Structure 1
Amino acid sequence: MGYISQLRDDRKCKVVLILNDEQLEDKGEFESYLEKVVDLYLRFDPSCAEIADIAIPGDGDNIAAMVRQHAILLGIKNVRVIWKILALAKQVAPMLAGYSFSVTMDAVRTITLLAWSYLQPKGAPPLDYLKRVNAYNPIKEDADLDLKWRDLLVQYRYTGTSAFDLTLLEAVQNGYFDQSRLNAHAKELNEADMYRKAKEAMRELWDDLHLSFTKPIKPILDRFVEVFASELKYLDLGDLVSVERTFRELGDPRAEELVTLYIREKKDEPAAFDTDRLYEFGRELSPELLKRIKEAENATKPKRTTDETVMALAKNITDPELLAEAATIDVESYVQILKGHEGEELRDMLAGLRRYMNLIDATPEMIEILTRFAKAVKEIGRESAINQYRTRNLGFIQWLEKKEA
């Protein structure tokens, strides 16, 4: 300050002092001399929008427009930080080009926030806080930080940090992105977005159907068929049930076509024919549709060998499907199954089927299985003295003899 005064008074110089007063350690002392030395004091304090326009001039492309919009919303006032964020966004965009554009949009939004926090930590939410933030289930220790940043984060639509977000943060810190790591998360996000779009398309059609007294029905049903066919990968049994019932009640014969289309497209997805979830929510299927769905479900189930059936039954002795299969296995096959297992596997099989002996409410299928299994054990016991010794105390032969008596 003394030197500036000397230049002004003795040398008649005009001196311009440009500084960032927020970084001054002795700001109080500086301000006490400021009034004596400086004739004209101007604070350069452009708005966030002006800063963003300086950092990203012109219209630019979609990525630049997104970064500018996010920077303004967050209140970023550092041109250099915005430049670096834009460079990161431009770097990641081509790597996500093969997915839904919403994946890129989410990535750019996350990068803007996390890069701001990383590059300008004094003016942004702390990184450690962002890693654990949960806008709808905050933790007590973050009460002060939530009070300061929560409203901004909710407005910014950042309510929690996902595994994909952490991958992006690592890239921000390293300065480059790993394509394989991006792919691991982007595929899941892409599927979620496609699912959301399919549900949204169907919801719009339901609105057209139910929220109008003027729209003709045929174009709406035509559109239902078109959307159902194009988005079938992301639709489920609940969608089929609703559409099939609507078409049937409105007398449109294409209801059968939609069921056939669903079954054909989902033939390799056993879960696509699971009716249990529908019943949980009180949704009933027509007898005709239920019959076709059950037939399709049975067709998708992998065929088990007799060996696999018995081993599975030993672990779940009340499974109706396993019971039905095991009750048809002949005695000779049970003999081969028993001889095909040793050690713990044989012990588990014997212990599992032995439980039928103690069931008070054993079903006819259970009795049939136990009878055939016991006959197989008895037949093995007749083969040699050692096998007679081995089978003597298992309990199956005694149960069979008592039953026959």
Structure 2
Amino acid sequence: MTANPDSEPTSTKLLRAEIERFLATDAPEVLSIRGKWGAGKTYAWNSFLMKAKDTEKIALKSYAYVSLFGIQSLDELKYAVFENTVNAKDIGFEPTIEGLKENAAAVLKRAGKHSIAGMLSYFKNVADAVKMVSFLSVTRQIICIDDIERKGKSLRTQDVLGLVSLLRERRKCKVVLILNDDELEEDDKKQLAKFQEKVIDSSLLFAPTAKDCAEIALPKATGPLAHLAKHCVALGLSNIRVIKKIERLVVQVEPLLTNYNSAILEQAIQTLTLFGWAHFGRTSDSDVSLLSYILKHHGNQWFGPPDPDKLSDEEKKWAALLDSYSFTNVDDLDLVLLDAVRNGFIDVERLQHDAEILDEKHKAAQSDKALNEAWRRIHDSFDDNEDEALDGLVTAYTENIQVVTPGNLEALMVLLKDLGHDDLAREGLTFFMQERKEEDRNFYDIENHPFRSQSPDPDMKKAFDERLATFKIDVVPADILKRIGEHQAWSSSDIAALSALSAADYKSLFKTLRGPAMRTAVRAALGFERISNRGGEYDSIINNARQALEEIAAESPLNKRRVRYLIGAPPAERQNVPNAGVNRDEG
């Protein structure tokens, strides 16, 4: 809990004051702490109890905590109180065998050896006799009875309240009841309403806000846990059990992501909070509606917010909440975290693989930002600051060289040369070529670069062409023709590769291909005929492709018909036969 009471939430402050009062006197009484599941009733009670123990402000000398979960009878409850009784100075520690022996010794002393001996005729052994009379030792102590709504079916609420009344009136005990009365069965609610005024002296409703719960569950939170607290409040998460479950996952994830960009850990915490709230806060195992909504409308292929007219009223509330929570879409890292929430363990290999991919994106984004800011010093003023602006630009390029594109490099070189810094421009080019020497062939193919300029810097073009020439080219003519046929675009290297093919090469190529791939290749090779001012290398492609088709057509009447269907009649036939060409009615 927070050390300064004045900084506590109001609901927590009121509960703390009442518990401190309750523990500080030995007057028998019954205190009830009510609240919803996960609100932090037990957590708050234990926290204030420990603080009272540490400051020696507990009047009675013994304490027992008992959960009614699964307890079926009063005898079980009585023995559980006896079994879990510890000295007040041992509050916070689990009951031990030594403690149980001490409690049993107290029973024997209280009952007397002769009384126990007289009982043995009714029991199999001393242990059964001690168990039967163990409740005799329960007197003048604090007893916490928790989870009343989760008691066994055979144990009635009115019987529990009757025992509580006995403990107060005859055993001079102080009893605290912790319950979620909304979850009681109807009969139990009626029994509680009927007897609570006679049995319960003080009843507190503990209903902390989301901010209260975050401060209770994550006291003095710093670092990642402070981010968790912030996200819990943003979602309105007022269930301390859920917060603690999410906290465990955050604590596990943090060391796995510390070596990456800090934004990745922040994303992980935001995602774990959302998915943890959706999963751990479900009313039943089959309630997956919120998670399903998130994955459907904010999945990997996210195309903006869903159409409000197509959402249910509940989905509209979720949409508004996710919008205010600034959660746009689920990426691969989020899916790993969802599995962690569902399965209870983290796939470390997948998590770090996806974190590395995100880390590279963040680095690229930061580098782009640095380059853009450097260029703004060039363009955004009329200050006399050439040296300063150029120094900043060169520094930005040097520090972020791994994300500098050929287009970026050319822009820098043009600027430096325009301002009379040719040597600095060439020095930058040399540095770039050294630092990016591991790039592939396409990187250095300026002519085919999508952002190439009409007249690239000559020094840069020379350096790139020399590096390009060092790569071994594995030309696949079918791929070149396919690309030309589909995009109607080609490069000088494409033409050089195609013009180097002989008629025999084209014949083999055309006969190897099938279906649309074959037709695309033939029409792409002959399509250069439409270029009026073409060079000799284009004629080589056209002539060799036509010769290949003529040889194929000569192989059989069927192939002759196939070639005619593809490209029309040969030129010689076109001169002699009117309207010769492809029969458009065929096929």
Query: Deviations for 1:348-403, whole angstroms, at most 9, x for unmatched residues?
Result: 6587436766887344455442223344667899xxxx95889866569x847679
Task: Return the alpha-carbon distance in structure 2 between the equivalents of residues 315 and 198 of structure 1.
Answer: 34
Counterpart residue type for residue 169 of structure 2: R
Matched, 1:54 2:195: no
Is contact 1:315–1:352 with CA below 8 Å preserved after alignment? no
Matched, 1:270 2:438: no
**1:164, CA displacement in angstroms?**
2.6
Matched, 1:130 2:290: no
Task: Return the alpha-carbon distance in structure 2 between the equivalents of residues 33 and 387 of structure 1.
Answer: 105
1:119 to 280, 293, 311: 280
Q: 1:310 to 1:358 in 2, by over 3 A?
A: closer
Task: Return the alpha-carbon distance in structure 2 between the equivalents of residues 262 and 343 of structure 1.
Answer: 43
> Within 5 A, what are the aligned runs for 1:296-311?
296=464, 300=468, 304=473, 308-309=476-477
Is contact 1:95–1:179 with CA below 8 Å preserved after alignment? yes
Q: Which residue of 2 aligns with 1:287?
A: 455
Is contact 1:56–1:68 with CA below 8 Å preserved after alignment? yes
Q: Which residue of 2 aligns with 1:221?
A: 390
2:368 to 193, 199, 203: 199
Q: Which residue of 1 aligns with 2:110?
A: none
Task: Return the alpha-carbon distance in structure 1 between the equivalents of residues 191 and 409 of structure 2.
Answer: 74
Higher helix share: 1
Is contact 1:208–1:215 with CA below 8 Å preserved after alignment? no
**1:58, CA displacement in angstroms?**
4.0
Q: Give the secondary structure class of the aligned counterpart of 2:169.
A: coil
Q: Give the secondary structure class of the aligned counterpart of 1:77.
A: coil
Is contact 2:168–2:175 with CA below 8 Å preserved after alignment? no
2:332 to 142, 163, 183: 163
| Worse-superposed segment, 158-167 or 296-305 | 296-305
Task: Return the alpha-carbon distance in structure 1 between the equivalents of residues 442 and 399 of structure 2.
Answer: 21
- Unpaired runs of 5+ in structure 2? 1-156, 577-587
Q: Which residue of 2 aligns with 1:68?
A: 229
Q: 1:219 to 1:159 in 2, by over 3 A?
A: same
Is contact 2:224–2:250 with CA below 8 Å preserved after alignment? yes
Count residues with an aligned counterpart: 392
Q: Give the secondary structure class of the aligned counterpart of 2:311.
A: helix
Counterpart residue type for residue 369 of structure 1: I
2:401 to 232, 240, 248: 232
Counterpart residue type for residue 112 of structure 1: T
Q: Which residue of 2 aligns with 1:23?
A: 183
Is contact 2:181–2:189 with CA below 8 Å preserved after alignment? no
Q: Which residue of 1 aligns with 2:165?
A: 7
Higher strand share: 2
Task: Return the alpha-carbon distance in structure 2 between the equivalents of residues 45 and 222 of structure 1.
Answer: 60
> Within 5 A, what are the aligned runs for 1:78-93?
78-93=239-254
Matched, 1:102 2:270: no
| Worse-superposed segment, 171-180 or 226-235 | 226-235
**1:169, CA displacement in angstroms?**
0.7
**1:195, CA displacement in angstroms?**
1.4
Is contact 1:67–1:112 with CA below 8 Å preserved after alignment? yes
Q: Give the secondary structure class of the aligned counterpart of 1:66.
A: helix
Q: Which residue of 1 aligns with 2:545?
A: 373
Q: Which residue of 1 aligns with 2:206?
A: 44
Query: Deviations for 1:52-84, whole angstroms, at most 9, x for unmatched residues?
Result: 343333455x33333233223333333332222
- Unpaired runs of 5+ in structure 1? 280-284
TM-score (norm 1): 0.73
TM-score (norm 2): 0.54
Is contact 1:70–1:109 with CA below 8 Å preserved after alignment? yes
Task: Return the alpha-carbon distance in structure 1 between the equivalents of residues 323 and 415 of structure 2.
Answer: 39
| Worse-superposed segment, 102-111 or 43-52 | 43-52
Matched, 1:190 2:359: yes
Q: Which residue of 1 aligns with 2:484?
A: 316
Task: Return the alpha-carbon distance in structure 2 between the equivalents of residues 11 and 102 of structure 1.
Answer: 60
Counterpart residue type for residue 293 of structure 2: Y
Task: Return the alpha-carbon distance in structure 2 between the equivalents of residues 403 and 310 of structure 1.
Answer: 29
**1:219, CA displacement in angstroms?**
3.3
Q: Give the secondary structure class of the aligned counterpart of 2:205.
A: coil
Query: Deviations for 1:194-248, whole angstroms, at most 9, x for unmatched residues?
Result: 1111122223334444556778442332232122122222233554455445444
Q: 1:353 to 1:231 in 2, by over 3 A?
A: same
Q: Which residue of 2 aligns with 1:325?
A: 496
**1:166, CA displacement in angstroms?**
2.0
Q: 1:337 to 1:101 in 2, by over 3 A?
A: same
Is contact 2:260–2:359 with CA below 8 Å preserved after alignment? yes
Counterpart residue type for residue 70 of structure 1: H
Counterpart residue type for residue 334 of structure 2: D
Identity %: 24
Q: Give the secondary structure class of the aligned counterpart of 1:17.
A: strand
Q: 1:299 to 1:349 in 2, by over 3 A?
A: farther
Task: Return the alpha-carbon distance in structure 2 between the equivalents of residues 187 and 238 of structure 1.
Answer: 26
